[in-house]
Amino acid sequence: MAYLEGKNLVASYGVVPILHECSVEVEKGELAVIVGPNGAGKSTVMRVLLGMLNATSGSVTLDGKDISMLSTQDRISHGLAFVPQTKNVFPSMTVEENLQMGGFIRQDDINQTIEEVYALFPILYDKRKQLAEQLSGGQRQQVAFGRAMMTKPSIMLLDEPTAGVSPIVMDEIFSNILDVRNAGMAVLMVEQNAQQALNIADKGYVLVSGRNEHTGTGKELINNSEVRKKFLGG
Amino acid sequence: MTSDSVDIINAFALLTNFVLLPALSYGSQLALGALAVTLVYSVLRFSNFAQGDSMAFGTMIVILLTSFMISRGWTISGIPTALLVIPIAIVFTSMYLLTMDRLIYRHYRKIKAKSITIVMSSIGVMFVTGGIVRFVLGATAQKFEDGERFIFSVREFKAYTGLEQGIAFKTSQFLTITIAFLLVAFVFYFLQKTKTGKAMRAYSDNKELALLSGIDPDKMVQITWLLVAALTTIAGALYGLDKGFAPQQYHLLLLPIFASVIVGGIGSPIGAIAGAFLVAFSEILLTYAYKKFLIYLLPLSMHPSSLVQLIGTEYKYAISFVILVIVLLIKPTGLFKGKVIVDE
Amino acid sequence: MNNLNNIWQSYRAIITFSLMGFVLLFVGFNQSWALVIGIINMSLISAIMALGVNIQWGYAGLFNVGIMGFAALGGVSVVLISQQPVTEAIDVGGIKMLFALALGAATIAAGVLLNRRGVNKWLISLIVVIGYLFTRFYFSEASKLIEKVDPAITGYLGGFGLPIMLSWIVGGLAAAGAAWWIGKITLSLRSDYLAIATLGISEIIIYVIKNEDWFVRGLKNVYGLQRPVPYEVDMQKSEWLQNIVAWIHRSELQLLSQSEQISKLSDYVREASVVFVKLSYSGLFLLILIAFIMLSNLALNSPWGRKVRAIRDNEVAASAMGKNITRQHLQIFVIGSAIVGVAGALLVTYDGIFIPTAYQPLRFTFLIWVMVIVGGSGNNLGSVLGAFIMWFIWIQSGPIGLWAVEMLGNYVQEGNTSLEFIEDRVHYLRLIFMGSIMLLIMRFSPGGILPEKNKEL
Ligand SMILES: Nc1ncnc2c1ncn2[C@@H]1O[C@H](COP(=O)(O)OP(=O)(O)OP(=O)(O)O)[C@@H](O)[C@H]1O
Ligand SMILES: [Mg+2]
């Protein structure tokens, strides 16, 4: 059984069904990527995994334990961390305060972890007294990533961490993600830049209209002609 | 000293007594109320129409406790008894506000109702609260100030300075300004420096992300109401000590309070305070009759015959309204960029 | 059980209105017909007011907390249109007042125009302040002169001496004007700004009415307003009414002696004249209410109304239309307020006197809101039903409260101060009671008694 597993998830907003028996899983030390067209339900999968939206059926397990019934907060304290696609910082708080809020549930000293985030993203150290709303899009993504790191999670869920980011910063963020994975964390990521993401992914899911259309290793999906034609632009 | 320069000093003593000190204390009272409205707005996302009547509720508790203490003879000479009972009154007001939240507002948060629906329910709360206060205390005005009335009186001031114009510094004014300053300092310290305060700001900034950071929304809401209860009770008690208690008066405070909040920028604590003093000073400067002041300053031939009052006192609430309208027309975000000014 | 429920659902309106009718009939047979018709008339006026508010809330989600102010504007119009002009006051201060008001208007206009031209802000402020000072000077001179003219009876300029029915239209226009101004400023902003602004403007309108004696006599009230229906005394003299009354009571009257017959008959005629006058009002009000309902239904089914409903039912999608929404909300706000203004004028006409202190937010803003919510927000018929139910409760809650206190009094010692105390306070229970009704309905039955389909609170 995989470390985090979402199995046969069915979910809807109100009466509009979005997910139909969708499954994803990720191991520790593994990077799994979800790709798919806009509106496929990728963000919705993330929300269900985190308990921000209740699934009508299906289950979510973490390390073999069923966490479907836990609240978002409890899931966070069980080691999940999430970087949402939008609104992923506290705009009227400083960079440092954003990181402090990331570590809100921790009782121990968080300064060590803040230093680690600064080491990962040196620019944030320079900007630590600035309000997050005054940062550039790329810097904001770094704050968002850093904030999620603050709980020292065992699994990271990232919803388009490279949206609106220059190619250089994108490479930087990807290499950070790989570092995190290599350190033994599980990473589940939604990405628009499907080509690059699948290149570094251990595992990939192609989600269409809330269904698993293709599943395989990153390499397999890149080499799959149908996936290439439909989602990777030939 | 020449008589001219004495006249100038007299003129300014006059202004200090009738404009500066009253406006400072009125501004402080408004500031506390406005801060409460802004906090509720930031965290709970609605304009709380029940604020004025909640202040009346808090003051009602203060009055009841004060008369109880006095009837038992549990007073400290020189100090207004009301001051001693404020902490207990805050506890009661907190319980009341938390109960209202539990019974009413929580439901709308849960179903993610439109903010205007919550505003409407706050008007229901406003009427219920106003009804309770009037039922218990009646609608007539009353005073509950005891202890020393003046830090120094007009006579003492005149005797000391030899000026013709006296300045009185009322105990209630002194208390208002000091306590309001300390309380505001505490609130800012709390919001800026403590973990819980920061979490409250985070929650107000981005609810979903706060949830993802493990911040407990219910706790944030409760802490907000506790702060609001403290601000509300103290603002009400200080206003009552200064000007006497009358339910209708408190109800109408809603207008200057909203004006303060919007002038400052809704959701911005600093804005609320700046707005409160702006409103208070405008109100008092515009309704003050400058006749005596000008007589001190102008040569005899130019002495005014009328009161030289820009706006009649009966229209003081219109001043807040006009300020409000001007701000909405010119800069709807307020002086200090407030939160959202269009519906989310 | 299920069947019953279905019947209830489909005949909701008919059943509830009939129930209300039975209650009124019951009061009529047991207390007095004049009382019932009085209740009906006030309910009809309230229904018109509630209809105006319902149009704003139900069609556009606009929250008007200043119903009182718009109703008061209607009331003022009645005085200004229908009262006879006070020539003496006009002679001494009319021109001066006109000049002062014109000066004030010119100052504001100059400020606005210069601002548009981009003239230096400080210069504009200076001009406005100087203009204001002059305005205020002439204004206070004029009002002093006017108020000195026979203050016990007039002390104001009077009105235009025109037919009172004209004032209903003018009342609507006055309220519409105020609403347009407030809406223009706040409707493009957050929805609670409109609420705050309407609260403010209505308080200020009341302050002006109470304080400016030269205008509508302030706290001295205006008595003896014109009537659109005949007077009771005239009715009592009319032969046909006497004949009808004699015919209705013929069996009873036959048994009496000549002198007894005459006194009894005149009693009955007096009662009948009161009922007749009140019924004439009922007729008028009912006509107006029906006209408004029909107009609003017509409007809702027009192309304009289809757009309104599209926006109401799907504001998110419609918000792509941006400015259009604001403009449409402004139209709806103005229309709704105009209806409230008309109702305000009707109310003062019906009362026959204008009393500024009667304008209490509880009675005028809050009670109307409770009517709208209880009846079913968004549903016009619901507002009418809500008006009847809540007015009935409102009227009866006073006596019931006192009765409760008296019952309590049987258990409490004579001359007990706490009883007097409660008696004195008991009408504040209304505030608590009404507030609770509103909160309970909003919480547990947000659709009200006659829920509007496709409308969520
Ligand atoms: N809060 C919501 N309420 C109602 N419908 C929603 C909500 N959020 C998303 N949806 C709908 O659910 C569907 C899936 O949305 P989701 O955000 O999961 O897509 P996505 O795959 O993440 O798309 P993108 O690549 O654009 O981020 C979309 O059709 C969207 O319109
Ligand atoms: Mg998405």
| C contact test, residue of B104, B109, B116 with most C CBs within 10 A | B116
Last residue of a domain, one of C106, C123, C157: C157
- Mean pLDDT over C20-40 rounds to 89
pLDDT above 60 for B344: no
pLDDT of amino acid C453: 67
A166 compared with C280, residue with greater pLDDT:
C280
Structural domain includes residue C456: no
Q: Which residues pair with A59 in a beta bridge?
A: A7
> Which amino acid would we find at residue B171?
T
Tell me which of C105, C137, C157 is where a domain ends.
C157
CB crowding B317-341: b at 16 or more within 10 Å, else e: bbbbbbbbbebbeeebbbbbebbeb
Residue A199 sits in a domain of what CATH number? 3.40.50.300
Kindly list the residues from chain B whose CB atom is less than 8 angstroms away from the CB atom of residue C442: 117, 120-121, 124
Ligand of minimum distance to the alpha carbon of A52 = 1
pLDDT at residue C1, rounded to an integer: 56
Size of interface A-B (CB pairs under 8 A): 62
The predicted model gives A176-202 an average pLDDT of 90
Whether residue C223 is found in the same domain as residue C202: yes
pLDDT exceeds cutoff 80 at A67: yes
Same domain flag for C115 and C250? no
Cβ pair C153, C88 in contact under 8 A: no
Quote the domain boundaries for residue A163. 1-79+154-234
In a domain, C457, yes or no: no
Distance CA C72, CA C156 (A): 18
Beta strands in B91-170 (DSSP E): 150-152, 169-170
| Per-residue pLDDT, C231 | 87
Q: Given A152, A173, A191, which residue is the final one in a domain?
A: A152
Are A171 and A216 found together in one domain?
A: yes
Tell me if residue A64 falls in helix, strand or coil: coil
Residues sharing a CB contact under 8 Å with residue B28, sequence separation 6 or more, in sequence order: B176, B177, B180, B181, B238, B276
Mean pLDDT value across residues B10-33 = 93
What number is the ipTM of this complex?
Answer: 0.89
Give the pLDDT score at C456: 41
Rounded-to-integer distance, Cα C88 and Cα C94, Å: 9
Among C119, C140, C157, the domain boundary falls at C157
| A141 and A159 both lie in a single domain | no
- Average pLDDT of span C176-181: 96
From the CA of A45, which ligand is nearest? 1
Q: Read off the pLDDT of residues C292-328 as tens digits, 9 standing for 90 and up.
A: 999 998 998 888 888 888 777 766 666 666 667 888 8
User: Does the pLDDT of residue C87 top 60, yes or no?
Assistant: yes
Q: Are residues A106 and A69 in the same domain?
A: no
For residue C4, the model assigns a pLDDT of 74
Q: If you ran DSSP here, which 8-state letter would residue A7 be given? A: E
- Do C276 and C303 lie in one domain? The reply is yes
Mean pLDDT of the region B19-24: 94
Asked if residue C252 belongs to a domain, the reply is yes
C204 near B CB under 8 A: yes
C218 within domain boundaries: yes
Per-residue pLDDT reduced to its tens digit, C204-257: 999 999 999 899 988 888 998 888 988 888 888 888 888 888 888 888 888 888
Same domain, A212 and A101: no
Q: What is the pLDDT of residues B164-216, one digit of tens each?
A: 888 889 989 999 999 999 999 999 999 999 999 999 999 999 999 999 999 99
Tell me B277's DSSP state. H
Query: Is C449 a domain residue?
Result: no
Q: Quick: pLDDT tens for B292-327.
A: 888 888 888 888 877 888 888 888 888 998 898 888
Higher pLDDT, A231 or B246: B246
- Whether residues A66 and A180 share a domain: the answer is yes
A60 and A132 within one domain: no
Q: Please say if the pLDDT value at position C198 is more than 50.
A: yes
One domain for residues A92 and A130: yes
Rounded CA separation B275/B232 (Å): 17
Name the residues around ion ligand 2, CB cutoff 5 A. A 43, 85
B125-176: per-residue pLDDT in tens?
A: 999 999 999 999 988 888 888 877 888 888 888 888 888 888 889 989 999 9
Q: Round to whole Å and give the CA distance between B3 and B10.
A: 10
Asked whether residue C236 is domain-assigned, the answer is yes
pLDDT of residue C27: 87
- Distance in angstroms (rounded) separating the CA atoms of residues C414 and B332: 60
**Owning domain of residue C251:** 14-85+158-444
Question: What's the confidence (pLDDT) of residue C455?
Answer: 43
Q: Six-digit token pair at C408?
A: 């309590």
**In chain A, residues 141-160 whose CB comes closer than 8 Å to chain B:** 147, 151
In the predicted structure, residue C330 carries a pLDDT above the cut 90: yes
Distance from the Cα of A31 to chain B's closest Cα (Å) equals 21
Query: Which pTM value belongs to this model?
Result: 0.90
Give the number of beta-carbon pairs within 8 Å between B and C: 133
Distance in angstroms between the alpha carbons of the first and the last residue of chain B: 63
Chain B: give the shortest CA distance to residue C95, in Å.
22
Helix (H) or strand (E) holding B256: helix B254-264
Least confident of A98-112, B111-125, C22-36, C343-357: C22-36
In-domain check, residue C3:
no
Among A125, A152, A179, the domain boundary falls at A152
Task: Note whether B53 and B204 are within 8 A (CB).
Answer: no
Give distance in angstroms: CA of A44 to centre of ligand 1.
Answer: 6
Each residue of C103-119: b (16+ CB within 10 Å) or e?
bbeebeeebeebeeeee
Q: Return left, alpha or beta for C454; rule: phi > 0 is left, psi -120 to 50 is alpha, else beta.
A: left
Whether C94 is in a domain gets the answer: yes
Q: Which residue on chain C is closest to B46 by alpha carbon?
A: C192
Same domain, A130 and A55: no
Number of domains chain C is built from = 2
CA distance C262 to C283: 31
Of the candidates A98, A117, A152, which is a domain's last residue?
A152
Assess whether pLDDT exceeds 60 at residue C413. no
Residue among C365, C333, C364 nearest C177 (CA):
C333
Distance (Å) from the C-alpha of residue B79 to the closest C-alpha of chain C?
Answer: 31
In this predicted structure, the answer to whether residue C418 has a pLDDT above a threshold of 90 is no
Within this chain, do residues A34 and A74 fall inside the same structural domain, yes or no? yes
- Do C186 and C262 lie in one domain? The reply is yes
Average pLDDT in chain C: 87
Identify whether residues C142 and C289 lie together within a single domain: no
Q: Are residues C411 and C272 in the same domain?
A: yes
Domain co-membership, A71 together with A160 = yes
Question: What CATH number is associated with residue C295?
Answer: 1.10.3470
Is A52 in Cβ contact with B208 (below 8 Å)? yes
Asked if residue A147 and residue A127 are part of one domain, the reply reads yes
**Which chain B residues are within 8 Å of C207, Cβ to Cβ?**
314-315, 317-318
When divided into structural domains, chain A yields a total of 2
CA of A204 to the centre of ligand 1 (A): 20
Q: What is the pLDDT at residue B331?
A: 85
Output DSSP code: residue B313: G
pLDDT at C265: 85
Domain identity same for C118 and C181: no
* CA nearest to A97 within chain B: B198
Task: Please check whether residues C74 and C91 belong to one and the same domain.
Answer: no
Most distant CA pair in chain A, distance: 50
Q: What is the pLDDT of residue A227?
A: 82
Residues A199 and A213 in one domain: yes
Structure confidence at residue C457 (pLDDT): 38
